[in-house]
Structure 1
Amino acid sequence: MTTKNMSRIKPLSADEKTRLLALVRERALHDEVSFANEAKREGLEEGREDVARKLIEMNLLTDTQIAAASELTENDIKALRKEIKH
C-alpha cells in the first residue's frame, strides 16, 4: 500500500462512524455469503434425494448401492423408501 493511500485510511479508521459502517457492511457481506452457501447445500441435498427417489422407483439397486450413488446414508434411503410407499 502506498503512503498516499495510508494517509487516506488513517483518518477514516479513526472515525468511529466510518468504522461502524465498515463493520456493518462486512457483516452484511459475510451473512450474504453464508446464506448463499446454505442455499447451495440445501439444493445439493434436494438433488441427492431426487436421484435416490428415482433409483428407488427403478427398483434395480440395493439401498447400499443407492446410498453410494446419491451420497446419502442407508438410513436416509430407507426413510425415502417408506415415504415413497405411502
Structure 2
Amino acid sequence: MKIEVGSVINELRIKQNLTREELAKDICEPNALSDYERSITSPTIDELALFADKLKVDLPYFFTTKNEPIYNYIETIKLLINKYKL
C-alpha cells in the first residue's frame, strides 16, 4: 500500500484552519507544501516531524490514518464529488 502523507497533511491543515503559508512557515516554502499535499513530491522526515508538531499529532499518525474508517469515508466522498463535478 502506498502511503500518501500529503493528503493527511492537507486534511489536518484544513481542519485546523491553517493556510499553506502558516503551516509552511519555518519548515518549507508554501509551494513545496502544495506539492507535498498533492503528492507530487514528499517531505523529508525532518519536515514531516515539524509538520507533526505544528499539526499537534504524533509522527506515526501520518502513516496510520489511511487505515481508519473515517479517512476511507472522506476519500470515498471526495471521489464521488469529483466523479459528478460539472
Using structure 1 for the length normalisation, give the TM-score. 0.30
Query: Structure with the greater relative contact order (CA < 8 A, sep ≥ 6): 1 or 2?
Result: 2
